[in-house]
Every structure is written in structure tokens, then in C-alpha cells.
Homo-oligomer: A and B are copies of this chain.
Amino acid sequence: MTRSIRTLVADDHQIVREGIVRILTDAPNCEVVAEAADGLEAVEKTLSTKPDIVVIDLTMPRLSGLEAVRRIHKALPKVRILVLTVHEDEEYIVPLVQAGASGYLVKDSASTELTDAITKIADGGVCFGPQATRVLAQQFQRPAEIAADPYGSLTDREREVFHLVIEGKTTKEIAAIMGVAPKTADHHRSNMMNKLDLHTTVDIVRYAARKGLLPDPT
């Protein structure tokens, strides 16, 4: 190896973050130049320290990991990003790659897999787990229509309705908030449920929970 790989570690759970930092600092070819405890801090510290690789968790306060990846990649395309997550959720992979991630590793991996992934990515490669690779392969096999979107392929209005539903609003309330007739809100709701293949309100909330889309109980 020529020189040490400069990494930034972003995870909101301090113990998890420290564990990752230790794994990386113990690795012969890595060095940790910065840590971040939320998405916004990750973006800011990436801009200021310009690391080679950002190791980032998906679920973080203030700014989601996905949005952080987007901003980092937009501002500094040369910075490689390895997403470290607990979600095996396939639907996350495509938008993450579109956002600029070079790797996707579930936390349920060995520490050697982490260092291997970083080395590979630093060499200009990419690193995705077997499932992620399969999902990406499927996406390229398909035209491009079903691909995209974190949700499904909901329209703006449908996504609005979706979020209001999981906030506990009734169709009538949703209609009032959106400034349309109850029937229109109902129509968007039905379309949304069809597209996501959901058939009850419980399904909707559970779907949101799996995707990590549930709002904070404010």
C-alpha cells in the first residue's frame, strides 16, 4: 500500500461508531480522520476534512444517511461512500447507488469484510453484498420503469397522502389538509395502496415502519 486510506465514520450510536473506528484504526492501511454523529455533521465534516472514504450509517438524526450520501456525492464526487446499515432492505439499494454510494454492507458482517470493502473501494472498485448485487443486476435487466423511487413509483399527491396516513390522519382530514375533496384524497389513497400492493391501513403503517418512514411521535 502506498499511503493510508483516510476515512470518515458516521454513526449516531457512539458505541457502534467507536467500534468501527477501532476496527479501522487497527487495520494497517486505514486511518480515521473524522467522526460524525448525524447526517448533517457527516456532510459538514466531509466537506472540511475531505476523506477518501465515508463510512456512513443509514438511520441517523437530523439528516438521513440517504440524503447525506446525496449531498456528499454532489459536493465532492471524488469521495467514495460505503453505506453501513442494519437494513437488508432491498428497496434502499437502488436509490443509494443512484445517490452515489460505492458500497453497501450490512452491519452483520465480519470486520475483515469491512476492511476488505474499504480497500476495494479505495482502489476504485465497488463493494456490495450478494443480495445487493442481485438486486442491482435485476434492476439492469429491467427496462428502468419499476426501478427508482424509495417508495414505489408514487406520484406527488399519492406520496403526500401516504405520509398523512401514517401520521394518523383520516381521509377526511387528509382532504382538508391537501385542500381537495374527500373523494380525491380517497382516490389517491386507493391508487397508492394499489401501487404498493397494500390492502389495509395496518399494511400501510407496517410498510412505513419497515422502510423507516414513520414520523417521530411528536
Interface size (A, Cβ < 8 Å)?
36
Q: Say yes or no: B205 contacts A86, CB within 8 Å.
A: no
User: How many monomers of this chain does the complex have?
Assistant: 2
B20, A108: Cβ atoms under 8 Å?
Answer: no
A46 to B217, CA, bound (A): 36
B-binding segment of A8-16, A93-101, A154-162: A8-16
Given the known interface contacts A202-B205, A214-B209, the answer about A109 and B14 at a Cβ–Cβ threshold of 8 Å is: yes
CB of A172, distance to nearest CB on chain B (Å): 13
| Chain B residues in 8 Å Cβ range of A210 | 217
B-side contacts of A203, CB under 8 Å = 168
Decide: A15 near B202, CB < 8 A? Known: A23-B22, A209-B209, A210-B217.
Answer: no
B110 adjacent to A14 (CB under 8 Å): yes
Set of chain B residues within 8 Å of A37, measured between Cβ atoms? 108
* A56 is an interface residue with CB less than 8 A from chain B: no
- Which residue, A15, A16, A26, A114, has most C-beta atoms of chain B within 10 A? A15
Task: Contact check, A23 vs B13: say whether CB atoms are below 8 A apart.
Answer: no
Inter-chain contact A206/B205, CB cutoff 8 Å: yes
Q: Which of B13, B23, B111, B165 contacts A108 (CB 8 A)?
A: B13
- Closest residue on chain B to residue A20 by CB atoms: B19
* CA–CA, A104 and B209, complex, Å: 25
Subset of 14 A-B contacts with CB under 8 Å: A13-B107, A14-B108, A15-B23, A15-B109, A16-B19, A18-B111, A19-B20, A168-B203, A170-B200, A201-B201, A202-B204, A206-B214, A209-B214, A210-B217
